[in-house]
Amino acid sequence: MTEHDHGHTGDSCLSLVTIFQSLPEKDLSFLDDIVSEHHFKSGEYLFHAGDNADSLKIISHGQAKVFQIAANGKEQMLRILQTGDFDGEAALFENWERNSFAEALMDTDVCEISRDYFQNLMASSPKLAVNMVNAFGQRITQLEAQNTEVTTSSVESRLANYLLETSAGLKEDSFKLPLKKKDIATYLGTTPETISRKLTKMSEAQLLENKGLKVKIIDPDGLSMLV
């Protein structure tokens, strides 16, 4: 992991996160001063189970999987963090221990806000505290809307979006899927067989080429029409 100084790309990181987008420019500039940047190579861990959760982590570029290790030793994937996603917002307000792991699936940039820095800022800026409460309320509403979208949007749409986001993260049209099909299926709420069928259908429609876990996007505009 490579670590950088505070505040270099804080603005861009904070603008990616819904809970900060409603804050005034003045408060965003304060937050920008307490953001630190980290770079993780593919395969490196953003955090481990048992780590103290003492910061909010924002994916400014890349992709990471969050998973747990089951009692039988098998990996159980919980979710994927894409560009703009974040993890640990509760850590800004309370001390707790992580019960999951996060591994970078490609070279990934992360912005981080420490709880101590953030709480000190909250104490000196009551306006920020009020705005944060309102922003969290909006976040809850948006999460509910996103959950509804996941249950109503098609698997084809979700898969197309995942492929486009992965291609953007890798900056390549031709790439090996960073996840096994069973994990992609878990992430998208479907089965590995359905993922294979949808990839075959997209290939037949000449939107992409697919062989095993290797994908080459031929028609990104066509794929985006499915999203």
Q: Cα–Cα distance between 81 and 102 in angstroms, integer?
A: 9
Q: Cα–Cα distance between 195 and 219 in angstroms, integer?
A: 19
Q: Which two tokens stand for residue 94?
A: 């309370």
pLDDT per residue, tens digit, the chain (227 aa), is 776 555 445 667 888 876 676 677 877 888 888 899 999 999 999 999 999 999 989 999 999 999 999 899 888 888 899 988 888 878 888 888 999 999 999 999 999 999 988 888 778 777 777 777 777 777 677 666 656 655 557 889 999 999 999 999 899 999 999 999 999 998 888 999 999 999 999 999 999 999 999 999 999 999 999 97
**pLDDT for the residue 104:** 97
Give percent helix, percent strand, percent coil of the chain, each to the nearest 5: 45, 30, 25
Query: 3-class SS at 180?
Result: coil
pTM of the model: 0.81
**pLDDT for the residue 211:** 94
